[in-house]
Amino acid sequence: STDTFFISLLIVNGRVFHRLLNNLHEQMLAVTALRRLLSELGEEAKQHEKRTCQFRLGNHCLTEALDRAANQYYYLQSPLSPGRRRKRASEEQSVQSEQTESRR
């Protein structure tokens, strides 16, 4: 192979050049192996990609919208909703006024 030829040629010229070329050759082999490994892993990762949502509309998941709507529904049905707070406050005032009248 041509790699062997260049390595043996540099052995004649000097040991430092041989070591440098040998390191470059080893690095080239390692980079080639890493590229092959990454390409294989990339193909495998694409096949096993997790899909968290069936419907994607402009980076918006339908299940997220349904979750927000359900949370809003439960909030509005809870005693903390705006209408219920006013109603509860007026009920508490009427109960307090009834209690003060009954004490008299």
DSSP type of residue 79? T
Specify the pLDDT at position 31: 81
Output the pLDDT for position 27.
77
- Name which of 83, 82, 20 is nearest 6 in CA terms: 20
pLDDT of residue 54: 58
Looking at residue 44, its pLDDT comes to: 63
pLDDT at 1: 45
Per-residue confidence (pLDDT) for residue 40, from 0 to 100:
79
pLDDT at 53: 62
**Mean confidence (pLDDT) of the chain:** 68
Give the whole-angstrom CA distance, residue 43 versus residue 52: 20
Distance of CA 3 to the CA centre of its chain: 44
53 and 61 Cβ atoms separated by less than 8 Å: yes
- Element (DSSP H or E) covering residue 75: helix 62-77
Below-70 pLDDT ranges, the chain: 1-22, 43-62, 84-93, 95-104
CB–CB of 9/20 below 8 Å?
no
- Cut 0.75: pTM above it: no
